[in-house]
Amino acid sequence: MTASHPESLPELPRLNRLFRLQWEDAQQAYVLLYPEGMVKLNVSAAEILKRCDGAHTVDSMVAELELAFSATGLRDQIEGMLRAAFEKDWIQ
């Protein structure tokens, strides 16, 4: 048990089918597109959502992102972003 609120997050988070994550040259950022609009993402949010593919566990996301950013102790921030995305229905 690594998540502080395991019931809040899916075991294998995946993007909701109504949303599409893509790079936008005009924004110079990753965006999350959905029928009613678009959300411009910061770098860390995009990196987390890129891993919401139904194959990554929260643990594997934490390990990959800590390695990618040469950082430790990112679990709380990653879980916080995932919880916010889940509450907004970006991920399932």
Please check whether residue 22 is in contact with residue 33, taking contact to mean a CB–CB distance below 8 angstroms: yes
pLDDT score for 9: 87
Quick one: which of 55, 51, 83, 81 has its CA closest to 68? 51
User: Which residue ranges of the chain lie beneath pLDDT 50?
Assistant: 1-6
What is the per-residue pLDDT across 70-82, written as a single tens digit (0 to 9) for each? 999 999 999 999 9
Q: Rounded CA gap, 14 and 48, in Å?
A: 11
Please report the pLDDT score of residue 69 as a whole number: 94
At 23 the pLDDT is: 97
Residue 58 maps to which CATH number? 3.90.930
Predicted pLDDT of residue 7: 55
Contact 47, 56 (CB under 8 A): no
The answer to the question of residue 2 being in a domain is no
Secondary structure element (H or E) that encloses residue 47, with its range: helix 43-50
Query: The pTM is what?
Result: 0.88
Domain limits for position 76: 13-87
In a domain, 82, yes or no: yes
Neighbours of 67 (CB within 10 A): 10
